[in-house]
Structure 1
């Protein structure tokens, strides 16, 4: 049983090294110019190890994006009963803790692809939460969700581009206040 644990830890460390190497390269050059050899060299593994875990660099990028969006989903309250600031805080903490990934995704030529996926992800979660509150504010629910998602993604981009000038707690509270001040999100009772 201990052997399995050691293998799992090695696999995790190897994937982390590959991911870090890829993200380092991704911040320096276009995806089209990154090679598997470069990733393997930076990760201190051979090419075959990279191919053992990923089909190609596009598969690696897709899996990274999916993994981070799934982790963000797990931080969201599925019942919609958590106050907004309490729900935003773990999201900002996660973004801070995975700064390299979000920085690479939002500050490169391929940022538009990730930004679109992030916008769709946030918009869907916000719309679900707004639908559960079932309050009529006179604002179309889908438009409200798009507005909030765009505001959230824009603030995250600003925060990352400025290298996290405020702690996650501050960011979550400020965003909550902005949404409530602009009456785009129902105030929790």
Structure 2
């Protein structure tokens, strides 16, 4: 019993240390608008640890950055998959639970996503999200379609459209500094999927 309690304390201490290092790095990225000039010394000073503690958990700054990407991407993956556990099909009628959970996860981790949005690294946040969505909807989830169009749509083209539309909305929200609630954004994304464009009008410009 004593050994178990001691082990649990060590696990909690490790988790708190990792969380502190991540939060310190996120705040420094937001302050510097990049990662290039941030040093490990600055990260450890901000987290109130020494460099030795950093190297227990991460090889270098890039290793810590990859951990941030993993938190963001894996969190979204879990949000998407959660409503499908134990069932074969989710009917897409109104705002589906996975859409709500995506936006709630981003809203809960605003600073993380804002920091990753600032990083010009290949693959960047949106490349990684695209790959995650593509893998998810080709190996774990498949859309069931009912088309009223006279044209037959190829699934991969349809999927590419859906993924990039979703990414565009997420990117807009992050770059606009989350100026709308997660609930509103969920409703907006849902309405875009069901809204049909019937015409385009030329907007006359005056010079």
Assess same fold via TM > 0.5. yes
Q: Give the Cα–Cα distance (whole angstroms) in 2 for the partners of residues 69 and 182 of structure 1.
A: 31
2:134–2:163 contact (8 Å) kept in structure 1:
yes
Q: CA separation of 1:21/1:112 partners in 2, compared to 1, >3 Å: closer, same or farther?
A: same
Are the aligned partners of 1:80 and 1:132 in contact in 2 as well (CA < 8 Å)?
Answer: no
Q: Which residue of 2 aligns with 1:119?
A: 130
1:61 to 50, 62, 65: 65
Q: Which one is further off, 133-142 or 62-71?
A: 133-142
Pairwise CA distance, 1:68: 2.4
1:144 to 125, 137, 158: 158
Aligned-residue CA RMSD (Å): 2.4
Superposition deviation, residue 102 in structure 1: 0.5
Q: Does 1:181 align with 2:195?
A: yes
Aligned to 2:22: 19
Quick check: which has more Rg, 1 or 2? 2
Return 5+ residue gaps in structure 2 as ranges.
198-207
Cα distance change of structure 1 residues 115 and 22 upon mapping to structure 2, 3 Å threshold? same
8 Å contact 1:107–1:161 — kept in the other structure? no
Are the structure 2 counterparts of residues 134 and 157 from structure 1 closer, same or farther at C-alpha, using a change threshold of 3 Å?
closer
Tell me how many residue pairs correspond in the alignment. 183
| Range moving further from structure 2, 154-163 or 13-22 | 154-163
| Cα distance change on mapping 1:82 and 1:103 into 2, 3 Å | farther
Asked whether 1:162 is paired with 2:176, we answer yes
Cα–Cα, structure 1 residues 171 and 132, in superposed 2: closer, same or farther, change >3 Å? closer
Q: Say whether residues 1:131 and 2:131 are aligned partners.
A: no
Which residue is 1:81 aligned to? 90
- Secondary structure (helix, strand or coil) at the match of 2:124 reads helix
Deviations 1:70-129 (A, max 9, x none): 222112235552635321101100000011111011133338622111111123334457
Instruction: Give TM-score, length-normalised by structure 2.
Output: 0.78
Unpaired runs of at least 5, structure 1: 184-189
Relative to the length of structure 1, the TM-score reads 0.84
Partners of 2:172 and 2:153 in 1: CA distance: 26
